[in-house]
Structure 1
Amino acid sequence: MVAPIDGPISLSSTYGPRNDPLGRGSAYSFHLGQDIPAARNTPIRAAAAGTVIHAGAGIDGRSSNLIIIQHNINGQTFYTWYVHMYDDGVYVTPGQQVAAGDVIGGVGSNGNSTGPHLHFEVHDAANNTMDPLPWLQQHGAV
C-alpha cells in the first residue's frame, strides 16, 4: 500500500462536512474524499494492487476525469477513486491490472475544481465512503 502522491501529503480539503468551495447550493456539503494539492501532471499512484474498473469521463455526477480501482485487501473489497485529471492525464484503461505504486494518471483540475489537486476517495464493497488517510495508515501505506 502506498500514498497516491509522492512526498509529504498536505490536504487542501478533508473528508466530511465542509463549506462548498464553489458556492453551490447550501453553505455546507459533505466531501467524500480528501484533496491533495499538487502541480499539474504530478504522478498519481495506485494506492494498492488491483483492477481498473473505470478510467475516463465522470460517473454518478462526479467531475471528469475519474479512475476507479477495485482492490482485494485481506479478503475485503475496496475501491479507490482518483478524480480531476485532464483527458491526457488518464494513463490506464478498464480491465488493466495495476500494482501498488504504479503511475495511473497525472494531477489535473478538470471539472468541479478550484486548482490542480488529486481528489482521492475510498469506498467499501457496499459503496460507503470512508476517510482515506486513516484507511491508508491502517493498511500500512508508505
Structure 2
Amino acid sequence: MRATLLFLLACLSLPAPALAQTVAPDGRGLGTPVLTLYMKVIGGLEQQLARADAGGDAAVLDRLLSPFFELRRPHQETLAREAWMAASRARMPHPEPAMMSELSVYEVGAEAIAYFMLRDADGRTRSVVDVWVRAENDWQLRVRFEQSLTAP
C-alpha cells in the first residue's frame, strides 16, 4: 500500500507532458519512453563525434568511425574516412562543435539509424542521417548522409 501511494505521488509530481509519455495511445498500460537507451547511447556518441571532428581528435575519430566509413552528400559527392579525418585535422583554428537538435534514433536489427539537425557556429544548418553499426562491444559510424539546408 505504501509503495502504491509513493508511486502515485511520484506520478502526480511529474509535469503533464512527462506523465503523458508514459501512457500508451490507447490508454492501456505503459508506452515506450521517449528517451530510449538507443537515444542516450547514440546521442552521446554523436556528441563525442562532433567534438572530435571540431577538435581534430584523430584518436576519437579512429575509434568512432568504421574502417569503411563514408560521408555522402547530394550530387554523388562522397568523402572517405581518411579524407574526412584529414579535413578535421586541417581545420585551424578549430571551430566550436556543431549543435545537434531534433535527434531521433531507430533500431534496425544490429544497426542504429540516427536522424538530426546540425547547426554550425556560422549558422549553417545540415540535415544528417547516420548509420551506426555494432563493432564487438562498441558502436561505429558506418555512413553519414548529409544535406545542407542553408545556402553556402
Question: TM-score, normalised to structure 2's length?
Answer: 0.30
Larger Rg: 2
Tell me which of the two structures has the higher relative contact order, counting C-alpha pairs closer than 8 angstroms and 6 or more residues apart: 1
Give the structure with the larger helix fraction.
Answer: 2
